[in-house]
């Protein structure tokens, strides 16, 4: 007789979790002015009063943040769209009229947002799922990272050309899928790039463009950081600091200069569950000493003028499933005199298929009888990653993205 009850216990736990989420969904159904989506939002970019959303339904959706109306749907990928970026249609103009999308179908597509037409498709840009993008606008350089553990460089100097993107270099140093990218240009022919993987390893690279026609980019490893125990979910650098959110339940902040990866201790902001998204407002045009995080389905706001002693200001039951992204939105409205005014709001997306809007002033000034924390356990994001075949982790992620 089979006495193994593990499967039964797992199924029972999942039923309890589903029931808790249904109860919470009903309780918070009007919070944050929710905009319902047909699919799950996996990436988002906010421009003016619109959101560009990468969905697990294989499309990118342009959404009016006030009305919730879909303004445009970009169709062409055959797998979940997981990476979004913009580049200039007219080089170095700052127009950001070219939409760049990456998918689990391993292709990179460029779209003209004026004509709404597909410009080009680079098939098999990676040999496994595309996970993340970063654009250096002044260098006409796109960087992509994938589940194949490779970082690739792409030339954006002629983005309206109909052919596939030209590859101009690569990095094959990571031993796990590359989850996050960030960096900055240091001259018109050099940059600093940070790459992070699902093992929690961060590598810092010096990039230099070679001279001559069809010049390629050469990457030299400057530093390797190992202060996280597992997967890096988000990474941002700026103001001389490196901010990282991880599945090890922490946000950590390191100075970019004069750090010794082994000896220097980072500033740690602990959470009860994996941190999937973060927004340090000090790195935005607001320049304020606040950090907003998404861990599980709860939105937290910390005052971080002292990184050694961060203060939790508010905790909001924002969604009934994991928060996937946090963005700043300057919401335009008319004041009593009929003049336009901009107010900072926070946009969140979640696996609960909603986009929600939060007034920053309200997050900074929570009611005294703030709702008790009823966060649900997050979806599993840890585990070992295999090679180019679907690993156990990616199988779980795929089930999460495609599931109901």
pLDDT tens for each residue of 81-118: 999 999 999 989 999 999 999 999 999 999 999 999 99
Comparing 1-15, 247-261, 291-305, the range with the smallest average pLDDT is: 1-15
Edge-to-edge strands of the sheet including 41-47? Answer: 41-47, 50-55, 59-64, 70-75
Which backbone phi and psi does 89 adopt, to 5 degrees? -75, -45
CB atoms inside a 10 Å sphere around CB 257: 6
Same fold, 76-226 and 234-379: yes
Indicate the pairing of strand 190-197 with strand 202-209.
Answer: antiparallel
Please state the rounded mean pLDDT for residues 235-250.
97
Helical (H) or strand (E) element with 393? helix 392-402
Pairing of the two strands 130-136 and 117-122: unpaired
**282 vs 125, 156, 260, CA distance in Å?**
34, 29, 24
Q: How far apart are alpha carbons 315 and 17 in whole angstroms?
A: 21
- CATH superfamily, domain 76-226, is YVTN repeat-like/Quinoprotein amine dehydrogenase (2.130.10.10)
Mean pLDDT computed over every residue of the chain: 89
Tracing tokens 């998404």 back to the chain, one arrives at 294
- 48: Cα separation from own chain's centroid: 19
How far does the chain reach from its first CA to its final CA, in angstroms? 35
Q: Is residue 237 a contact partner of residue 134, using CB atoms and an 8 Å limit? A: no
Place of tokens 């988000």: 234
Cβ atoms of 83 and 53 closer than 8 Å: no
What is the pLDDT, as a whole number, of residue 386?
36
Mean pLDDT for 317-328 is 96
Give the CATH number of domain 234-379: 2.130.10.10
SS3 395: helix
Instruction: Give the residue carrying structure tokens 């799922």.
Output: 129
d(CA 355, CA 298): 14
C-alpha angle 211-214-217 in degrees, rounded to nearest 5: 60
pLDDT for 256 equals 77
Separation between Cα atoms, residue 162 and residue 159, nearest integer Å: 8
Q: What is the pLDDT of residue 259?
A: 56
Structure tokens at 358: 């939060």
- The mean per-residue pLDDT over the stretch 166-190 comes to 97
42-46, 333-337, 398-402: which is most confident: 42-46
Is residue 239 classed as helix, strand or coil in its secondary structure? coil
Q: Looking at the predicted structure, is the pLDDT value of residue 332 above 60?
A: yes
Single out the residue of 329, 318, 296 nearest to residue 370, CA to CA: 318
Is residue 300 a contact partner of residue 311, using CB atoms and an 8 Å limit? Answer: no
Provide DSSP, 105-163: TS-EEEEETTTTEEEEEETTSSSS-EEEEEEEGGGTEEEEEETTS-EEEEE-SSTT-SS
Query: What is the pLDDT at residue 403?
Result: 60
The residues, any chain, with a CB within 8 Å of residue 64's CB and separated by 6 or more, are 49, 50, 70, 71
In angstroms, rounded to a whole number, what is the distance separating the alpha carbons of residues 40 and 401?
7
Report pLDDT for 333: 83
Domain positions in the chain? 76-226, 234-379
Q: Is the per-residue pLDDT at 33 higher than 70?
A: yes
What global pTM score does this model have? 0.88
Q: State the alpha helices, DSSP H only, in 158-296.
A: none
CA pair distance 26, 80, nearest whole angstrom: 27
pLDDT at position 264 is: 59
- From CA 281, how far away is CA 238, in angstroms rounded? 11
For 26, the 3-state DSSP assignment is: helix
What pLDDT, on the 0 to 100 scale, is given for residue 388?
A: 40
Q: Please report the pLDDT score of residue 214 as a whole number.
A: 83
């Amino acid at each position: 007789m089979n006495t193994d009850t593990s499967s039964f216990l797992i199924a029972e736990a999942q039923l309890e979790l589903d029931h808790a989420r249904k109860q919470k969904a009903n309780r918070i159904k009007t919070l944050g002015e929710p905009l319902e989506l047909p699919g799950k939002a996996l990436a988002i970019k906010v421009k003016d009063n619109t959101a560009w959303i990468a969905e697990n339904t294989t499309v990118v959706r342009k959404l009016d943040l006030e009305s919730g109306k879909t303004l445009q749907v970009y169709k062409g990928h055959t797998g979940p769209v997981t990476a979004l970026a913009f580049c200039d249609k007219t080089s170095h103009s700052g127009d950001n009229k070219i939409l760049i999308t990456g998918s689990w179908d391993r292709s990179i597509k460029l779209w003209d947002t004026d004509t709404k037409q597909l410009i080009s498709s680079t098939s098999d840009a990676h040999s496994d799922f595309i996970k993340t993008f970063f654009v250096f606008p002044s260098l006409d350089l796109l960087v992509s990272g994938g589940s194949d553990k490779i970082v690739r460089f792409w030339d954006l100097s002629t983005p309206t050309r109909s052919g596939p993107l030209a590859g101009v270099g690569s990095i094959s140093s990571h031993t796990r899928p590359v989850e996050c990218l960030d960096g900055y240009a240091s001259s018109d022919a050099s940059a600093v790039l940070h790459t992070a993987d699902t093992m929690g390893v961060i590598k810092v690279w010096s990039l230099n463009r070679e001279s001559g026609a069809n010049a390629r980019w050469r990457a030299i490893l400057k530093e390797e950081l190992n202060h996280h125990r597992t997967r890096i979910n988000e990474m941002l650098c700026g103001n001389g600091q490196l901010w990282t959110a991880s599945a090890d339940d922490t946000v950590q902040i390191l100075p970019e200069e004069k750090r010794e990866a082994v000896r220097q201790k980072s500033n740690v902001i602990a959470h009860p569950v994996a941190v999937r998204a973060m927004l340090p407002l000090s790195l935005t045009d607001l320049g304020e000493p606040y950090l907003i995080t998404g861990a599980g389905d709860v939105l937290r706001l910390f005052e971080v003028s002292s990184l050694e002693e961060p203060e939790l200001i508010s905790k909001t039951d924002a969604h009934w499933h994991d928060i996937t992204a946090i963005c700043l939105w300057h919401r335009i409205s008319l004041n009593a005199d009929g003049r336009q005014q901009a107010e900072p709001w926070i946009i969140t997306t979640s696996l609960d298929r909603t986009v929600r809007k939060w007034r920053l002033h309200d997050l900074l000034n929570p009611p005294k009888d703030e709702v008790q924390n009823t966060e649900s356990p997050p979806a599993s994001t840890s585990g070992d990653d295999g090679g180019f075949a679907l690993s156990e982790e990616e199988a779980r992620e795929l089930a999460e993205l495609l599931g109901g």
